Structure 1
Amino acid sequence: MSTATPVAELTPRVSEQLSCLHPGVQVGELKTLPGGHSGLTYSVTVGEVSYVVKAVPPGQRPIGRNDVLRQARVLSALAGSAVPVPGVAAVDEGQPAWFAMEFAAGEAVEPVLDEPEVPADMARARMLGIASVLRRLHETDIHTPGLDAPEPLDPAGEVERWSRTLHAVPVELRPGGEELLARLSGDVPDALPPVLLHGDFRLGNVLCVGERATAVVDWEIWSVGDPRIDLGWFLLFADHHNFPQLGRAVPGLPTEAELLDAYADGEPALPAMDWFRALSRMKMAAIMGHNLRRHREGKHHDPDQERLPPTIAAMIRTAHDILG
């Protein structure tokens, strides 16, 4: 088995491909890029041009968040579309697989959760702006060549998928969770025609320069399904009250109703949005509960996870309130 470090294994392969794009220009060193949540993430410069490289960790199977080539497919499919994404510069299917994309300018900051604080008027403009980006994403042809889209997941399948995650969370961390699952499962809306979904669409995953969105990033969990799945998730981040002890008030941030209007762009409102708003809260409770459980079991040490119980409880409680 090779004892080379990931950087040592990748460097000659990355240099070879990027040198073909920039003949005679020195390819810089691969530098670990903080903040990546899938595979291994590096930055590299070739002269004055910067790239981001995503690679499968050595010894890991290219599945789930480590399937970087799947991310490259969706970025390539969206190239030149009305959805801003980094351009894919190189793809290498060898083992471990990797791809290089353009380094997009901008900052990705969730106003109610992240540092640094964004001026309130800018946060408002950005959030309203990306609501229209989300609509354009959902207008993408899911049969675009090269996308190789998976089978769509309907609302019932989405509940079933996330109920497994919530059930893995200790009961004491999810008060009212069982009843919420029963209510969601007992009144599933009819599915809308499937669209391309980002899976975690929010300002924290959209690079912006000033008020302008420059690139939608972090495509690890893209899929095909009901557009209200993405939309309900996006709405969660419009109100700091959804995140007790975690969120901050941002004066003037768009309300959920304003975001829905911006997304609709004059078209009729999508039906049954309250069900999807409740679904998104169940999903967030499941994700946070899963992360807290892993921390307490010693699988991923992160003391910040101990701040999550009030938000987990609030997600479930407000989902019940939304369902009436």
Structure 2
Amino acid sequence: MSTAAQDRELTERVRDRLGRLRPGAPVGELRTLPGGHSGLTYAVTAGEGRYVVKAVPPGQRPVGRNDVLRQARVLRSLAGSTVPVPGVVCVEEEQPAWFAMEFVTGEALEPVLDDHRVPGVTARARMVAAARLLRRLHDTDVRSPVLDAPEPLDAAGELERWSRTLHAVPEELRPGGEALLARLAAGIPETGQPVLLHGDFRLGNVLCTGERPVAVVDWEIWSVGDPRIDLGWFLLFADHRNFPRLGHAVPGLPTEAELLDAYLDGCPAPPAMEWFRALGRMKMAAIMGHNLRRHREGRHHDPDQERLPPTIAAMIRTARDILG
């Protein structure tokens, strides 16, 4: 079956299912939403209802980021919790699998990276609220049978995973990378009680209206593991200076220390946070190096990737500084 035919089949399946969900309501066409990383992402209307549809791309296996059914499971597990997420309205496991969830209105903007600017006072309030929201996520009961979670992700496993990614980047694109990996490997901390992890928690994945978070989205790499993995990644986005040639200053943004205080809410600071802050920077260097390598090899043409080398070098350098 051709890709066009598969697209038509998916459209018919979605429109039929939503039509049964909203009897008598006209169902619109599927419109591709930009920015989705997990499979295909569409917007569609059914009467006055607005929905987002995530589907496995035609011809691809439902694994990794394309496993949209896994995303639906975690969203359903969080329904009614203190962590706001879009409500799942229907799921179809027949391949290519897809699910539909409510369309939540809001802005998902990364203050120091996105071109669309928000007032500094608003950005500050959103980041502090997101820090408190991350704590609520980590306090969520992870024993729900619908999660079917993998083995808990610990510090050693996370380091091994992202070390492989960084090693695949040419050495000239990751100056000081080997020394950083050696430092991280020499001081792997003990892992604490596993919690539910988002995997890419930051304001760019939190829809907000005004100063209030209304939904956490993009759950394609959720897992269960050490909460400091999420926390170290989130803190990375507090300072534009972490992103040379990419970031811009936003007056009044909270510091990493202020965000950590908001997350802790009076509780003692977790041990070894320096290690996890450095890990987050290593991961960012690995991701950017991977993307730049793919561009230079002609596998994904994107001239903007040529802006990344200063930030990759800064991530590695500051990670080593954090470790002392």
TM norm structure 1: 0.98
- In 2: Cα distance, 1:66 partner to 1:228 partner: 26
Could you tell me which runs of 5 or more consecutive residues in structure 1 were left unpaired when the two chains were aligned.
none
Could you tell me which runs of 5 or more consecutive residues in structure 2 were left unpaired when the two chains were aligned.
none
Q: How much has 1:115 moved relative to structure 2? A: 2.1
The secondary structure found in structure 1 opposite 2:50 is strand
Whether the 8 Å contact between 2:7 and 2:58 is mirrored in structure 1 is: no
Corresponding residue number in structure 2 for 1:71: 71
The secondary structure found in structure 1 opposite 2:127 is helix
- In 1: Cα distance, 2:277 partner to 2:118 partner: 25
Deviations 1:299-319 (A, max 9, x none): 111000000000000000000
Whether the 8 Å contact between 2:3 and 2:58 is mirrored in structure 1 is: no
Identity of aligned residues (%): 78
Corresponding residue number in structure 2 for 1:246: 246
The aligned amino acid for 2:316 is I
Corresponding residue number in structure 1 for 2:171: 171
- In 2: Cα distance, 1:108 partner to 1:6 partner: 31
The aligned amino acid for 2:23 is P
Whether the 8 Å contact between 1:7 and 1:30 is mirrored in structure 2 is: no
The aligned amino acid for 2:199 is G
- In 1: Cα distance, 2:229 partner to 2:177 partner: 19
Deviations 1:89-147 (A, max 9, x none): 11000110000000001010000000210100000000000101100110111111311
Corresponding residue number in structure 2 for 1:305: 305
The secondary structure found in structure 1 opposite 2:100 is strand
The aligned amino acid for 1:158 is E
Whether the 8 Å contact between 2:111 and 2:118 is mirrored in structure 1 is: yes
Corresponding residue number in structure 2 for 1:93: 93
The secondary structure found in structure 1 opposite 2:91 is strand
Q: CA RMSD in A?
A: 0.9
Whether the 8 Å contact between 2:55 and 2:96 is mirrored in structure 1 is: yes
The aligned amino acid for 1:151 is E
Matched, 1:153 2:150: no
The secondary structure found in structure 2 opposite 1:234 is helix
Do the aligned partners of residues 254 and 160 (structure 1) sit closer, same or farther apart at CA in structure 2, a change above 3 Å counting? same
The aligned amino acid for 2:19 is S
Corresponding residue number in structure 1 for 2:42: 42
Alignment of 1:1-324 (within 5 A): 1-2=1-2, 4-324=4-324
- Kindly tell me the number of residue pairs found equivalent between the two proteins: 324
- In 2: Cα distance, 1:88 partner to 1:270 partner: 34
- In 1: Cα distance, 2:311 partner to 2:22 partner: 49
Whether the 8 Å contact between 2:56 and 2:68 is mirrored in structure 1 is: yes
Q: How much has 1:290 moved relative to structure 2? A: 0.2
The secondary structure found in structure 2 opposite 1:213 is strand
- In 2: Cα distance, 1:26 partner to 1:269 partner: 53
- In 2: Cα distance, 1:22 partner to 1:49 partner: 9
The aligned amino acid for 1:279 is L
The aligned amino acid for 1:153 is L
The aligned amino acid for 2:258 is E
Deviations 1:67-90 (A, max 9, x none): 111111110110110000000011
TM norm structure 2: 0.98
